[in-house]
A and B are shown apart, each in its own frame.
Chain A
Amino acid sequence: KQEVTQIPAALSVPEGENLVLNCSFTDSAIYNLQWFRQDPGKGLTSLLLIQSSQREQTSGRLNASLDKSSGRSTLYIAASQPGDSATYLCAVYGKLIFGTGTRLQVFP
């Protein structure tokens, strides 16, 4: 059974720091991996989708990498801003299995 773990569970940093969020999964036989952002009381917003044949994807200040052999993905956030405060979720495809998320707070 696929299990997805995200570390850390919560993170509080000052504005301007570069951040790394971690996602690990137990079964490397995945199709794709997707990172989402969820604001309090809101739905999920897709950030990046990495296909199984890719090793990374970039969008603006966000960069996500995928290492299937080690069962890991990282989300790198450059020059963090207070508007980045949210919960970040990773999910792996076969059936979409979610991690429990990293709750990020960026303070001015």
Chain B
Amino acid sequence: NAGVTQTPKFQVLKTGQSMTLQCAQDMNHEYMSWYRQDPGMGLRLIHYSVGAGITDQGEVPNGYNVSRSTTEDFPLRLLSAAPSQTSVYFCASARAGRGINEQFFGPGTRLTVL
């Protein structure tokens, strides 16, 4: 199993550009989520999904869109990038049922917005 994969590993954008961060998992996990990690702020939940076709907002959803058309994929879209979105983005997945079980994280995408 590849586990949780993320692409790209690094990305530089100009303010106003759009892009999609890709996340995929091959563990048949129902639950998937996106976090951003900023110095001194820890990891903060952006959006999450408990299954295909179901998404919900986390702690810091503004400026980001998600969709979940398949169990395996959970892309994160930045519609109009802003310098405040410079961060490291992590995708995670877990089995669902009786709450969320142990989460597995991808290697991260380091995004810089100029």
Binding site for B on A (CB under 8 A): 4, 31-32, 34, 36, 42-46, 49, 89, 91, 93, 95-101
Contact = CB atoms under 8 A, between A and B. Distances in A.
A100 B40 contact: yes
A99 B43 CA distance: 8
A2 to B, nearest CB: 10
B107 A43 contact: yes
Given A43-B90, A43-B106, A96 B45 contact: yes
A35 to B, nearest CB: 11
Contacts, number: 53
A97 B44 CA distance: 7
Size bracket, chain B contacts: 20 to 34
B75 interface: no
23 contacts: A4-B42, A31-B100, A32-B99, A34-B102, A34-B103, A36-B105, A43-B90, A43-B106, A46-B102, A46-B104, A49-B101, A49-B102, A89-B42, A95-B45, A95-B58, A95-B59, A96-B33, A96-B45, A96-B100, A97-B45, A98-B43, A100-B41, A100-B42
Nearest to B107: A43
Given A43-B108, A44-B90, A99 B42 contact: yes
Contacts of B102: 32, 34, 46, 49
Interface string B64-106: 0000000000000000000000000010100000011111111
B103 A96 contact: yes
Contacts of B33: 96
